Amino acid sequence: MNQPLKTAPFPMDGGCGHLHHEPGDSAAGRTGRCLQVVFLVSAMAMAALYRDSEAYATFSVIFCSIVLEAFPFMLLGTLISGFIEVFLSRDQLIRLLPQRKYDAIILAALLGIIFPVCECAIVPVVRKFLKKGMPLGSAVAFLLAGPIVNPLVFASTYVAYSFHFETAVLRVMSGFFIAVAAALVIEVCLTKSQALKEAPVVPECSLCHDTDDTGTLSFAQKIGAAFRHSALDFYDIGRFLIMGAFIAAALQTFVPRQIFTSVMAGPVTAIVSMMVLAVALNLCSEADAFIAASFRSVGIPFSAQLAFMVLGPMLDIKLILMYLSVFKGKMILVLSSMVVLLVFLSMLFLEFSGWR
């Protein structure tokens, strides 16, 4: 019989009844629940006190646009993750990847070609891959490259830059090489125990994990189990998305845009400024090319535009908060530092080599 799912602070009825998505009664779990309550109270107070102001109207539009843009892709990602949980066993996943870990990293970075999801949807998918036994480096390669190395992003970039094929290719190739380089460093420097948050130890249920009982379930039962896991993932990751969107909307509303644009006179400062803007704006990888292309009219160098399009899908505010559901603080720090450094150095090379 189904039991209420302990998705604190709001339990959900149905599902398989185990607790593997919850942090338990640890200090981190209690802190997380307190932060959720503080966030909810702050949002309600803001709505009550400032709902008639122009700034609040702007904030509301930006917040809703980020959430509404991201949620369909979040839903897609959690649906995929639920079906991976039920239908893809650990042995099947391992057989998909080459035995050599460095070959596996390269292949994982190309999975976005057949897995075209944006960064809003990729975190729950990667979390399931890691639970199924995917090596850490391969998971990081897919996490970083998947939102860029896929046909939807290629097409949107191609259209945004007036059907300029070279620009779309350059974006995809930059994302691929940066993702592979970061994944190789993390594979060498960190282990899974150092990088991943530990899930609570709970009894396995017959509707998930790699148990022998799953073979006795009917196809309809497996479909139901997949949807229940998807609901859990959607709730779990969605909380981080909402808080990230809230912060991003506040930055865009209350920090004047002139602060970002006034320091873009030289190529180095332009690259840095566009990287900051990419982290702050939280745009979807299928839409950010149109924003980047709009900066051409004000003379922003192409290297800075490309930095915006490459860094955003790998690292922004909502992604950092979503990473908290999967990675430890040390892993997030190393991952963020590597991505920022590699994007910056790559764009500097592009700018001063004269190749573009």
Q: For residue 146, give the nearest of 178, 106, 118 by alpha carbon.
A: 118
pLDDT in tens, 46-90: 778 877 788 888 888 888 887 787 777 778 777 877 787 788 766
> Do 318 and 266 belong to one domain?
yes
Q: For residue 240, give the nearest of 61, 15, 70, 45 by alpha carbon.
A: 70
196 within domain boundaries: yes
> Do 252 and 264 belong to one domain?
yes
> Do 38 and 126 belong to one domain?
no
> Do 338 and 292 belong to one domain?
yes
6 within domain boundaries: no
> Do 47 and 155 belong to one domain?
no
> Do 57 and 116 belong to one domain?
yes
> Do 191 and 166 belong to one domain?
yes
Tokens of 188: 């060498």
Model pTM? 0.70
> Do 111 and 202 belong to one domain?
yes
At residue 1, the pLDDT reads 41
Q: Collect the ranges in the chain with pLDDT lower than 70.
A: 1-32, 89-91, 93-94, 116, 199-216, 257, 259-261, 263-265, 298, 355-356
3 within domain boundaries: no
> Do 29 and 58 belong to one domain?
no
> Do 125 and 262 belong to one domain?
yes
At residue 199, the pLDDT reads 59
16 within domain boundaries: no
At residue 186, the pLDDT reads 95
At residue 203, the pLDDT reads 40
At residue 303, the pLDDT reads 93
> Do 342 and 206 belong to one domain?
yes
At residue 27, the pLDDT reads 58
338 within domain boundaries: yes
16 contacts 208 by C-beta, under 8 angstroms: yes
For 302-323, give one letter per residue: b (16+ CB within 10 A) or e: bbbbbbbbbbbbbbbbbbbbbb
212 within domain boundaries: yes
206 within domain boundaries: yes
At residue 178, the pLDDT reads 97
228 within domain boundaries: yes
Q: Is 12 helix (H, G, I), strand (E, B) or coil?
A: strand
> Do 176 and 30 belong to one domain?
no
At residue 7, the pLDDT reads 47
pLDDT in tens, 119-175: 777 888 888 888 878 899 999 999 999 999 988 889 888 988 989 999 999 999 999
**In terms of residue numbers, what domain contains 30?**
21-52
Cα dihedral 51, 57, 60, 65 in deg (nearest 10): 160
When divided into structural domains, the chain yields a total of 2
